[in-house]
Each structure stands twice: as C-alpha cells, then as structure tokens.
C-alpha cells in the first residue's frame, strides 16, 4: 500500500504538507521561517532541524509552478543553503526541473525532488515514527483487555457487561496496534487482508494509521468511563512497563 494519498493543489498546501510530513517523521519543521545568513535575513519555506542525526539543519524550497524549475533558481537556493550553514537543501517542485537546473545541483548539497520523490524519500522514517506513536497510544488497551492483568473482581456488577462488550469490541484493535509492522502495511495485499482491524477500503498507510489513532482514542475513553464508574485506578508504572515491548514489532 502506498504511503500517502496527499496531492497538494496549491503552493500553500505543498509547503504545509512538506512541513507536516517532516514533523510526523520525527523532524522539527517550521513553515515559513526567517533565518540569518551571511548576507542578511532570508525567509525560507520550511526549516527543518534534526538534532539527533548527522544532518542537523535542512532548508526546503517548495515550488508549485506549472513549469520546470530553471537553473537560476537552483543557483540562488544554493547560495542561501551555503550562507545559512545548512547541511542540506531540498527543492520540491510540482513540475520537475529543467536540464540546466539538474546540472546546477550536481556536486552540491542541494537535492531536486518532485512531490512523489519527496514522499518516497521520507516514507520509511515516517512510517516507523507513526507506528511507534500508534503502539504507544494503544499500550493501555493491552492492560485493560488482558484478563491476567485487569482487576476484574473490582468491577461493579453493572459495569461487568459494559467491560466485556468493550473487550469484544476492541480486542482486534488492540491486536492490530500491537502486532502490525511496516512490512505488513507496505504489503500489496494489505487493503483486503482479514487479519487487521477494519483495514478494507484504505488506500494509503497514512489514512489507515490515522483511523487507528482515532479508534484508540474512542476505545480508551470507553474503558476510562468504566474504570471511573467502578472507581478502579491502574498504576501508571504498569503501563510504562509494557512500553518496552511494543517496539518488537516495527519492521
């Protein structure tokens, strides 16, 4: 299954989507942003920082033009990247690049990308980062639904049917969030698989993971109401203990 269905239709959408996907991939992206350079202040479309990686600062230029980008724009952008001390510059173009622009970017720290090439470039990091998010969010479900962990005997009589119904309703969701991997999501047969929670009909990994996140919130709210009704509290350390195991299933 493809990574995203996004297809920016304006220059603003292109700029915003680049920043959003980079943030969701674990970077720190701001759009727009004014930076200081050796020649003065310049506003860039997206400033990206990745303090935990070798490439610390990236500048993105987003071009929603109806024609390929010429070499002059690449030369100007190379100057901004160099004068700002950025490690890498990305130009993301709706309609590609002229041959002169491609030559101008050679042997430099500027990469020229179409929207599709950009999403391909960040897809692996994005998927892994969002999978970790989903698995963290779903940790309480593993504690609530597990019959060996949940203090069933403390439930009020009237809350027992509610609890059992919630377990039946969300056990498949809990299993999916715990077990699903990047390989599963990228499998061509994924959208029609019966193994995962309500995956039919989804055409991108992004839309399916967003759906799971929404369902996790609904499930947690339902269990929270039951716990509150029966005056049951789950110690936070019990949930923290589970977090160390959820990353076994990522790739």
Residues 147 and 233 both lie in one domain: yes
pLDDT tops 90 at residue 92: yes
| pLDDT score, position 27 | 93
Residue 160 has pLDDT above 80, yes or no: yes
Which of 89, 120, 151 is a domain's end point?
Answer: 120
Of 37, 31, 46, residue with least CA distance to 90: 46
pLDDT given at position 2: 86
Residues 148 and 242 in one domain: yes
Domain that holds residue 37: 11-120
Q: How high is the pLDDT of residue 51?
A: 72
| Interval 107-159: pLDDT, tens | 899 999 999 999 999 999 999 999 999 998 998 998 889 878 888 899 999 99
Tell me if 219 is assigned to some domain: yes
Answer yes or no: is pLDDT of 90 > 70.
yes
pLDDT recorded at residue 203: 87
Asked if 30 and 88 sit in the same domain, the reply is yes
The verdict on 103 and 22 lying in the same domain is yes
SS (H, E, C) 130-182: HHHHHHHHCHHHHHHHCCCCCCHHHCCHHHHHHHHHHHHHHHHHHHHHHHCCH
Identify the band that residue 242 occupies on the pLDDT scale cut at 50, 70 and 90: low
* Residue 37 falls inside a structural domain: yes
Mean pLDDT over 86-102 rounds to 94
Average pLDDT, the chain: 90
Last residue of a domain, one of 94, 120, 146: 120
Whether residues 142 and 244 fall in one domain: yes
Pairing status of strand 110-114 against strand 33-37: unpaired
Q: Are residue 51 and residue 91 in the same domain, yes or no?
A: yes
CB 41 within 8 A of CB 34: yes
**Residue 4 domain-assigned?**
no
Q: For residue 78, name the pLDDT band (cuts at 50, 70, 90).
A: very high
At residue 196, the 3 state secondary structure works out as coil
132 inside domain: no
What mean pLDDT do residues 207-236 have? 92
| pLDDT value at residue 247 | 63
Q: Residue 59 domain-assigned?
A: yes
Q: How confident is the model at residue 245 (pLDDT cuts 50, 70, 90)?
A: low
Q: Let me know whether 112 and 143 are in one domain.
A: no
Tokens of 223: 């269990």
Q: How far is CA 89 from CA 4, 48, 49, 66, 76, in A?
A: 23, 10, 12, 21, 12
Are 64 and 148 within one domain? Answer: no
Task: Name the domain count of the chain.
Answer: 2
In a shared domain, residues 105 and 29: yes
Last residue of a domain, one of 75, 92, 120: 120
Percent pLDDT > 70 in the chain is 95
Residues 68 and 111 in one domain: yes
Residue-wise pLDDT for 51-75, tens only, equals 777 778 999 999 999 999 999 999 9
pTM of the model: 0.88
Q: Would you tell me how many other CB atoms lie within 10 Å of the CB of residue 210?
A: 14
Check whether residue 158 and residue 207 sit in a common domain. yes
Asked, for residue 24, whether it belongs to a domain, the answer is: yes
Query: In angstroms, how far apart are the furthest CA atoms of the chain?
Result: 75
**Averaged over 27-37, what is the pLDDT?**
91
Q: Give the CATH number of the domain where residue 49 resides.
A: 3.40.1350.10
Q: Are residues 84 and 186 in the same domain?
A: no
User: Which stretch of 164-173, 184-193, 220-229 has the lowest confidence by average pLDDT?
Assistant: 184-193
């Amino acid at each position: 299954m493809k990574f995203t269905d996004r297809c920016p239709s304006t220059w603003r959408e292109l700029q915003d989507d680049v920043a959003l996907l980079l943030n969701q991939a674990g970077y720190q992206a701001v759009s727009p942003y004014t930076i200081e350079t050796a020649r003065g202040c310049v506003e860039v479309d997206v400033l990206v920082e990745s303090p935990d990686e070798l490439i610390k600062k990236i500048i993105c230029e987003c071009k929603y033009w109806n024609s390929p980008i010429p070499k002059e724009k690449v030369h100007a952008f190379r100057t901004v990247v160099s004068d700002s001390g950025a490690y890498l510059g990305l130009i993301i173009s709706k309609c590609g690049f002229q041959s002169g622009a491609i030559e101008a970017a050679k042997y430099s720290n500027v990469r020229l990308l179409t929207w599709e090439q950009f999403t391909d470039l960040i897809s692996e990091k994005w998927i892994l980062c969002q999978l970790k998010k989903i698995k963290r969010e779903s940790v309480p479900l593993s504690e609530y639904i597990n019959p060996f962990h949940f203090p069933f005997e403390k439930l009020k009589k009237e809350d027992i049917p509610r609890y059992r119904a919630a377990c039946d309703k969300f056990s498949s969701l809990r299993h999916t969030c715990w077990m699903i991997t990047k390989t599963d999501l990228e499998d061509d047969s994924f959208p029609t698989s019966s193994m995962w929670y309500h995956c039919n009909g989804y055409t991108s990994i992004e839309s399916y993971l967003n759906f799971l996140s929404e369902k996790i919130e609904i499930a947690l709210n339902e269990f929270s109401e039951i716990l509150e009704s029966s005056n049951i509290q789950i110690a936070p350390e019990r949930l923290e203990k589970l977090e160390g195991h959820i990353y076994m299933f990522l790739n």
